[in-house]
Chains A and B, each alone.
Chain A
Amino acid sequence: MTKLSINNVPVEVPEGSTILCAAKRAGIKIPTLCHVEGLQVIGACRVCVVEVEGARNLAGSCSMPVAEGMKVFTNTRRVREARRLVVELLLSEHNGECQTCDRNEDCELQALSAELGIREVRYGGERTRRRIDNSTPALIRDNGKCIKCRRCVSVCLETQHVGALFPQNRGFNTVIGPAFNLDLASVACVQCGQCAAICPVGAITERDEIDEVWTALDAPDKHVVVQTAPAIRAALGECFGCEPGTLVTGKMVAALRRLGFDAVFDTNFAADLTILEEGTELLTRLKKTLLDGEPAALPMFTSCSPGWIKFMEYFHPDMLPNLSSCKSPQQMFGAVAKTYYANKLGKRPEQIFVASVMPCTAKKFECQRPEMNASGVRDVDVVLTTRELGKMIRSAGIDFMGLPDEEMDAPLGLSTGAADIFANTGGVMEAALRTAHEIVTGRPLPMKNLHVEPVAGLAGVKEASLEIRGALPEWRFLEGAVLNVAVAHGLGNAQKVVAAVKSGAKQYHFVEVMTCPGGCIGGGGQPRFTTNAIRQARIAAIYREDEGKDLRKSHENPEIRQLYKEFLGQPLGEKSHHLLHTEYQTRARV
């Protein structure tokens, strides 16, 4: 431990901590526009400068390690003036347009200028040249607003191992973007939106598609249904000032009804469906290799997360057969809504409009993939992020917090607790094991509260082994088999797992991958700004939602049973194959 003083307050922190960490511990706020916990120190914005007694220059508190007896001052005249001037410089280049910016009132630069009391930008001159990149369906980049903090560069490279964004050019001409000034659609961007989630200003945002939803809601001949991903209910409240981890499922349903949706459904329904399809697929692959002795693509990787799919298509096309062929729950929902549900209403697919609310920007890309037209038309019409839904509710003048709790509509609104936990890392794995174990042995998963503890939590790569005991006659070949599973979240961690599998260092049967750190609850479309503490709060809320339900295993969902009985037949059946499964394509990197 190292003892130091900050503003004459004694603080004790572990050796090697930075001044910023120490200040946080002492309850002293030091502003920063580039620092992100868990990422390598960037040190670019210089807003976090502090005075260290005896040092000639101001120190960047995000990078300067503490030393025994150090005396730090965070609020001297020198520090205040330096911070103001640095922020003024940022404002002098920033094409702000605050009133019409997506980040109006949700902008770190705006908030910091207010906090520092900046009333005048004394330095004017050339501004950053504006170039808007709207080449992708998911993300819009506006270089004119970029303050070159490089958070996006770090998250894209370090967390996601993608590296689509880098600084280009030098000095004042620096722009952050893909190599050779290409647009985002031309490079290996998986459109996970972690950059948009971490951007302090409005330089990277999701493509705003609220108007498309309003247009559909206004069209008299459209039957507009909405599905909400499991992660929304644990985060939407944050858009209305709730503490992270507040569950707002009922209010969300009420709000969606008031916005005018004809039916409020749940992606959770499709998550349960996914478990049945994917679980069966896994067992089929296991059977093929263990019983029939034929080669099967193992480990099988989950396929719910569209960023991860694109990552595999770009970086590991040789491993595409290992991806489950199941569509993501969002796309399963769209296909079922425009066929099964449309049939029930006596409508044609094109008369149904499916809007999704997702914690994710990559879903905007996914829904427009040309193969996602199983119903004959585009299965999911528009994807909104959690943030967009928040804005839509606010713009409709709905007093969200004053809403009563309401229930989802039948039939596609009913789900089990297993579907809820799709929202967080380890959840899909746990849901799959709850069902697969019961299919194979006829008994529930022998774990406390049905939770697979080893794959829960925020460790980057988690592993578990499950020995199968008491298999039913049909699954006799699995008796005594040890099922090795792994869970990774954040593509950087996924990359590690894939590398270990490729090198033969690890032999897994089933691997869950979620593109974003923490899983969907930490998605690129969630309310900003997501920290690990917030991830944990949201995860806890999701488990509360799961545990509060009577039905907690996907195969127990009566509406799913009904769907198979009435329409699909059986998992991996012909109709399922057509509607619920997909294939992947190799994508060339630049």
Chain B
Amino acid sequence: MNSTVSDQYRALADQAERARDRQKPGEKILIQIGSATCENAAGSVDVLDEFRKHIAASGREDIVLRRTGCTGRCSREPIVGILVPGKMPVKYERVDRPLVHEIFTRHILQGEPVLARILDGPLEKLSQHEILTCQSNRCGWEGAESLQTALARRLGDLGITPDQVRITAASCFGACGLNQLGTCSHMLVRPDKVLYRVYNEDDLDEILQEHVIHGHTVDRLKVVEKTVGRKFFEMYGDVAFFNRQSRIALRHNGIIDPESIDEYFHYRGFQALSTVLSKGDPQWVIDEVTKARLRGRGGGGYPTGQKWSMAAKAAEKTRYIICNADEGDPGAFMDRSMLESDPFNVVEGMIIGGYAIGANRGFFYIRAEYPMAIRRIDGAIRQCRERGLLGKNILGSGFDFDLEIRLGAGAFVCGEETALIHSIEGERGQPRIRPPYPTESGLWGKPTVINNVETFANITAIVNYGAGWFSRIGTAASGGTKVFALAGKILHTGLVEVPMGTTLREIVYEIGGGVAGGKQLKAVQTGGPAGGCIPAKWLDTPVDFDTLAKAGSIMGSGGMIVLDEDDCAVDIARFFMTFSQDESCGKCTPCREGTTRLLEILDRITQGTGTLADLEKLERLAKLIKKSSLCGLGRAAPNPVLSTLEHFRDEYIAHVTQQRCPAKKCVALVHYEISAEKCVGCTVCARNCPVTCITGARREAHIIDQVRCIKCGRCFEVCRFDAVQRL
């Protein structure tokens, strides 16, 4: 152990803590306002401004405004959290200036939360206490029934109403030490933020009696260790969308101020770096990461430890480490969220990676479309340099390391590692043949490790909480969690971080709240444009690199789009093929020509001019592209076609043999008619038709002129009597 390193770290952490303490955060009312690209786009800048005005007008000095990153709930933003000491934290969704006024006057000044605008649905009443119980199968206690059931029963026995205590099922708190595995369960009591270990029913009773009824903490059962994700649960535990997640990579998102290194120190920031540098053994880091079974989160799923080990063993001593932040999958934004909301964590992960492989220079390759991420990472790098956490002789360890930012110009293929290297070198961003792999000959011909943002974001957690703990979350093949960008026809969209091995069903129904509008779930598309559609019947597929591949899809960078009965399989395949075709770099024949030909055939099919022979052509060509393309982009591009052909072939056949789109999605294959029986002659459709092709007198049935109709569907949307039919 190197005492210089830990002494220097301690001094820095103390300095940060003192700076933070001066603001006395514990005694003040905290208003948290999301600040990320998505938040700002939704209007959080206005919200911040409005709160600032209100605070100034009120003359109160015990109210603090704080910017946090985002929690990945773009559709509900701007999100504002109000933390009144001793009270339950409350989050509001879609906050605007009028709502700020309401929140300020009612909640902050009068202590009455605006229940109608709480995140993910209005509440009748806020309970005084909330108890979150662990649902992880690693937790177990002496009781015969589950902790949650026992708790509900005991509360009933004691006559405690849900108004007083609400029970919420939560995911792993990360408090299960190896020695206690399966012997105890955990529960978090809010708003007091006390996490308890519960071994048996007596423990449960004691907690209810002492803590809930009398307000005394039961120190005997209190978990004193800092556990991963706990802060997140303390803050967001009341929201169903969050409390079934296991936030590791995202553990600070929406909690800390992403622009303050002091704040990051407070959340165990740079402790992992200090641990690593004071041990002074790069191989130890690689061993830990290997033991943790961390696999590349960019989609490839290559074991990170193995990749690091290959670079570390290279004869060449000049080595580089690169963070791939060229997030390009449509709909995926976890990398952006991490860079914008917890930049120091990614930077720390990279420094540790650099140390492990013996690199002295690292690069962030960030797409230029992420200006805020670039600014935050740049700020983080600058603050790290100021504190001696980057540069020469970091923490007195003798290790030199510095980071630079390089911008990507928006080509999807630059997320491919060899294309990315070309781009940094100033060359055209196109892949080259591997081998040699970058770990052998990468940037400027030197051994280079390229990892995704999410991979680096997990490193500090592995060091701080242990490889054993990390590997136990997840499956036998891959440790830890994966972040998904849940989108599509689902009630709650946003970033979801779950242990590897969680089933699609859990994600869709327990976190996402199921399909919106009571429609039938059709499939889940995972892995972005290179992924495939997993049909509803396979919803119990656990998500992991290998299981998804077996189901004909991929993990990819974690896109997850829920499709319902109104989505057409051919149209989905066409949508993704449009993307891949457009983003093909154009180097190898199968991808350049093949994706174009695939798209042309899909166009024909959705236009109703395809033939049965086209299906055969589609399949043959898709398989060729898969097995003979130069890089991963090409090899994966046909997946949406192949998987929909496999699971929804009947839909393809309906398109080509009957010129019919079963989901009624393909514009060329549907038409609109007005039912004379149902039409009341309200004229709404006629007034909304952009090409005025609907005629009919008031109070008489209307008619659509099929020749002039452009099938925009506007009449279908506006009719309140179900008279307009899509056929």
Contact = CB atoms under 8 A, between A and B. Distances in A.
B585 A170 contact: yes
Interface in A500-518: none
Interface string B606-639: 0000000000010011001011111000010000
B247 interface: no
B598 to A, nearest CB: 9
Contact of A49 (B584, B594, B628): B628
Interface in A83-111: 85-86, 89-90, 92-93
Contact of B628 (A41, A57, A171): A57
A60 B591 CA distance: 14
A167 B590 contact: no
B581 A171 contact: yes
A72 B43 CA distance: 60
B597 A60 contact: no
Contact of A86 (B411, B430, B585, B589): B589
Q: In which size bucket is the chain B interface?
A: 20 to 34
Contacts of B85: none
Contacts of B596: 93, 125-126, 171-172
Contact of B589 (A56, A58, A89, A169): A89
B98 interface: no
Nearest to A87: B589
A434 interface: no
A169 B411 CA distance: 11
Contacts of B597: 89, 92, 123, 125
A171 B586 contact: yes
Contact of B586 (A45, A92, A126, A167): A167
B102 interface: no
Contacts of A31: none
B600 interface: yes
B594 to A, nearest CB: 6
Contacts of A126: 596, 600
A172 B635 contact: no
A173 B624 contact: no
B629 A46 contact: yes
Contacts of A44: 587-589, 630
A285 interface: no
Given A148-B586, A167-B430, A170-B583, A60 B630 contact: yes
Contacts of B413: 170
Contacts of A63: 433
Contacts of A56: 627
A172 B428 contact: no
Contacts of A82: 624, 627-628
A422 interface: no
Contacts of B592: 148, 171-172, 174
Given A86-B628, A171-B581, A150 B590 contact: no
A87 to B, nearest CB: 9
Contacts of B620: 85
A460 interface: no
A86 B587 CA distance: 13
A148 B587 CA distance: 7
A166 B426 CA distance: 14
Interface in B555-610: 581-590, 592-597, 600
A527 interface: no
A43 interface: yes
B430 A89 contact: no
Contacts of B581: 171-172
Contacts of B629: 46
Contact of A85 (B428, B585, B587, B621): B621
B435 interface: yes
Interface in A147-200: 147-148, 150, 166-167, 169-174
B432 interface: yes
A90 B593 contact: yes
A406 B584 CA distance: 58
B608 to A, nearest CB: 17
Interface in B254-308: none
A346 to B, nearest CB: 60
A123 B624 contact: no
Given A57-B626, A57-B635, A58-B628, A93 B593 contact: yes
Contacts of A150: 587
Contacts of A45: 588-589
A227 to B, nearest CB: 42
Contacts of A85: 620-621, 624
A122 interface: yes
Q: Which of A63, A81, A126, A170 has the most CB of B within 10 A?
A: A170
A43 B433 contact: yes
Contact of A43 (B588, B624, B627): B588
Contact of B588 (A41, A46, A92, A125): A46
Nearest to B597: A123
Nearest to B626: A57
Contacts of A60: 433, 628, 630
A172 B584 contact: yes
A128 to B, nearest CB: 10
A168 to B, nearest CB: 9
A65 interface: yes
A138 B621 CA distance: 40
Interface string B429-448: 01011010000000000000
A583 B696 CA distance: 86
Contacts of A166: 428
A65 B434 CA distance: 10
A63 B582 CA distance: 26
Contact of A58 (B582, B583, B627): B627
B681 to A, nearest CB: 47
Interface string A56-82: 111010010100000000000010011
A472 B430 CA distance: 62
A150 B585 CA distance: 13
Contacts of A43: 432-433, 587-588, 630
Contacts of A78: 627
Nearest to B596: A172
Given A171-B584, A171-B585, A172-B581, A125 B600 contact: yes
A85 B413 CA distance: 24
Interface in B409-436: 411, 413, 428, 430, 432-433, 435
A116 B584 CA distance: 27
B593 A92 contact: yes
B590 A86 contact: yes
Contacts of A147: 589
Nearest to A84: B624
A65 B411 CA distance: 29
Interface string A28-49: 0000000000000101111101
A46 B589 contact: yes
A93 B581 CA distance: 15
A93 B594 CA distance: 10
Nearest to B603: A125
Nearest to B580: A171
Q: Which of B413, B585, B590, B593 has the most CB of A within 10 A?
A: B593
Contacts of A173: 586
B589 A90 contact: yes
A46 B590 contact: yes
A59 B712 CA distance: 47
Contacts of B624: 81-82, 85-86
Nearest to B598: A123
Contacts of A81: 624
A352 to B, nearest CB: 49
5 contacts: A44-B588, A81-B624, A170-B411, A170-B585, A172-B595
Given A78-B627, A172-B581, 8 more contacts: A43-B433, A44-B588, A47-B589, A58-B628, A85-B620, A89-B593, A148-B592, A173-B586
Interface of A: 41, 43-47, 49, 56-58, 60, 63, 65, 78, 81-82, 85-86, 89-90, 92-93, 122-123, 125-126, 147-148, 150, 166-167, 169-174
**3 cross-chain pairs, A with B, having the tightest CB-CB distances, nearest first:** A174-B586, A171-B584, A89-B593
